[in-house]
């Protein structure tokens, strides 16, 4: 039996494909510190649990395909508090940010059309593009300047008549970069010049440090070309809820995307209600505390990584990742080594190889991504194990 080209061309998730090695390590009795996946260890807000224990109906029925109105209103209020002008009828509740990206790509591009992406990028963009036969045109950001938005000339080099959009995450997964107003203005100007959509993945917008303020794409003019992708996964430690947002002021685009939304009926209803419970009841301190916690962790990782010789990276300003160039020949092989052949007192570390976050063949082979989603003492220990692992890998 044959398979489609699109699935054969698809890479395995760089975040998840080495999990069998981790499972083997655990079976062998090792403890593995998971810094490979952005799965926070913080507790999901209690408002979620209390809401889903008291659902308003005895039938878990389909919801409106755009999501229950209570949730769209709650998100609208949330955005308006941040001066982002989304009304409930600008919002479609999606099954995770993932589905919002799939819907966006499918609504604006046909097979063989192109979408510009700032690389390294959230690895699954590549998977979604493969599934839809959309070609990603990478424009490279580099560790040396903290993975800032590349010069406009680099965008001009790749754009063609088949290019439909630019996609990026800001704050950035995997780099931790937070784009400035000036950087974003350059992207907006470029998009306008070439009549492109901008898909702004703002999932990490509340995760900014050192007084850095996240600038939403919605703060710029020319709103009909903007799509905002959002998710509560990281913000409220609810990755398993699969509650995301597709939002746009472009009414016609909204109607088109609703056709996709209707075809899959609705997003999970229990979690929709639970998210209403969170958004309408959570204290303002909650997110402040979460931010403080991640900033503390960021500082620890930065401090510990700074002790390791030969790394290239900048102090990340946002999200909860840092991408690092390390002195090994191939980070995927290095990670396998860490899981198969290395431990300190029975403990080892799993990180994500950055190669899979690039569309350019062979790029990022010496880079890796660390998700600082563990508590401080564990993070320190994990960084120490990582440093010793690099030495051992290069001495083997």
Supply the minimum distance, in Å, between the C-beta of residue 85 and a copy of itself: 19
Q: Does 5 bind a copy of itself (CB under 8 A)?
A: yes
Q: Return the SS3 of 149.
A: coil
Supply the minimum distance, in Å, between the C-beta of residue 273 and a copy of itself: 9
Chain residues 187-246 in contact with a copy of itself, contact rule CB under 8 A: 195, 197, 224-225, 237-242
- DSSP assignment of 84-101 equals ----GGGEEEEEHHHHHH
Q: Does 265 bind a copy of itself (CB under 8 A)?
A: yes
Q: Are 258 and 92 in contact (CB under 8 A)?
A: yes
User: Nearer Cβ to a copy of itself, position 67 or 138?
Assistant: 67
Supply the minimum distance, in Å, between the C-beta of residue 129 and a copy of itself: 10
Chain residues 28-67 in contact with a copy of itself, contact rule CB under 8 A: 37, 39-44, 48-49, 52-53, 55, 58-63, 65
Instruction: Encode burial over 238-270: b for 16+ CB neighbours within 10 A, e otherwise.
Output: bbebbbbbbbbbbeebbeebbebbeeeebbbbe
- Taking the C-alpha atoms of residue 350 and residue 352, their distance in angstroms, rounded to an integer, is 7
- Taking the C-alpha atoms of residue 314 and residue 396, their distance in angstroms, rounded to an integer, is 29
Q: Does 77 bind a copy of itself (CB under 8 A)?
A: no
Q: Are 62 and 378 in contact (CB under 8 A)?
A: no
Q: Are 120 and 151 in contact (CB under 8 A)?
A: no
Q: Does 160 bind a copy of itself (CB under 8 A)?
A: no
Piece of the chain touching a copy of itself by CB under 8 A; list 80-88, 93-101, 205-213, 348-356: 93-101
Report how many residues bind a copy of itself under the rule CB under 8 A: 80
User: Nearer Cβ to a copy of itself, position 130 or 314?
Assistant: 130
Site string for a copy of itself, 97-116 (x = CB under 8 A): -xx--x---xxxxxx-x---
Chain residues 120-139 in contact with a copy of itself, contact rule CB under 8 A: 124, 127-128, 131-133
Query: Which residue of 67, 138, 150, 274 would you call a contact of a copy of itself, by CB under 8 A?
Result: 274
Piece of the chain touching a copy of itself by CB under 8 A; list 168-176, 248-256, 356-364, 378-386: 248-256
> Which residues, at least 6 apart from 234, have a Cβ–Cβ distance to it below 8 Å?
38, 40, 203, 204, 207, 320
Chain residues 289-328 in contact with a copy of itself, contact rule CB under 8 A: none
How long, in residues, is the chain?
A: 396
> Which residues, at least 6 apart from 197, have a Cβ–Cβ distance to it below 8 Å?
104, 108, 164, 165, 166, 191, 225, 226, 227
């Amino acid at each position: 039996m044959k398979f489609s080209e699109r699935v054969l061309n698809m890479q395995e998730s760089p975040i998840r494909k080495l999990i069998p090695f981790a499972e083997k390590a655990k079976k062998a009795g090792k403890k593995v510190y998971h810094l490979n996946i952005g799965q926070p260890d913080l507790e999901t807000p209690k408002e979620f649990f209390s809401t889903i224990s008291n659902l308003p109906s005895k039938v878990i029925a389909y919801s409106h395909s755009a999501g229950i109105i209570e949730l769209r209103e709650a998100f609208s209020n949330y955005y308006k508090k941040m001066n982002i002008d989304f009304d409930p009828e600008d919002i479609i509740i999606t099954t995770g940010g993932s589905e919002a990206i799939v819907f966006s790509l499918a609504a604006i591009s046909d097979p063989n059309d192109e979408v510009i992406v700032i690389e390294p990028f959230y690895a699954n963009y590549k998977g979604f593009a493969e599934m839809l036969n959309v070609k990603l045109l990478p424009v490279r950001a580099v560790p040396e300047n903290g993975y800032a938005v590349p010069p406009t000339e680099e965008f001009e080099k790749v754009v063609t008549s088949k290019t439909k959009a630019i996609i990026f995450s800001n704050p950035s997964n995997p780099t931790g970069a937070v784009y400035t107003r000036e950087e974003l203005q350059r992207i907006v100007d470029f998009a306008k010049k070439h009549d492109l959509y901008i898909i702004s993945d703002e999932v990490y917008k509340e995760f900014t440090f050192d007084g850095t303020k996240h600038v939403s794409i919605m703060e710029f003019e020319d709103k009909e070309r903007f799509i905002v992708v959002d998710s509560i996964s990281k913000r409220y430690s609810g990755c398993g809820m699969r509650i995301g947002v597709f939002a746009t002021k472009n009414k016609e685009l909204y109607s088109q995307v609703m056709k996709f939304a209707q075809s899959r009926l609705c997003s999970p209803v229990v979690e929709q209600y639970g998210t209403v419970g969170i958004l309408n009841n959570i204290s303002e301190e909650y997110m402040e505390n979460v931010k403080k916690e991640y900033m503390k962790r960021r500082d620890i990782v930065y401090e510990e990584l700074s002790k390791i010789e030969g790394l290239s990276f900048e102090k990340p300003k946002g999200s909860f990742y840092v991408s690092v160039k390390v002195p090994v020949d191939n980070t995927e092989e290095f990670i396998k080594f860490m899981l198969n052949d290395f431990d300190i007192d029975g403990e080892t570390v799993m990180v994500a190889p950055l190669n899979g976050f690039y569309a350019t063949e062979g790029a990022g082979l010496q880079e890796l991504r660390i998700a600082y989603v563990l508590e401080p003492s564990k993070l320190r220990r994990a960084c120490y194990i990582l440093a010793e692992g690099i030495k051992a890998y290069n001495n083997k």
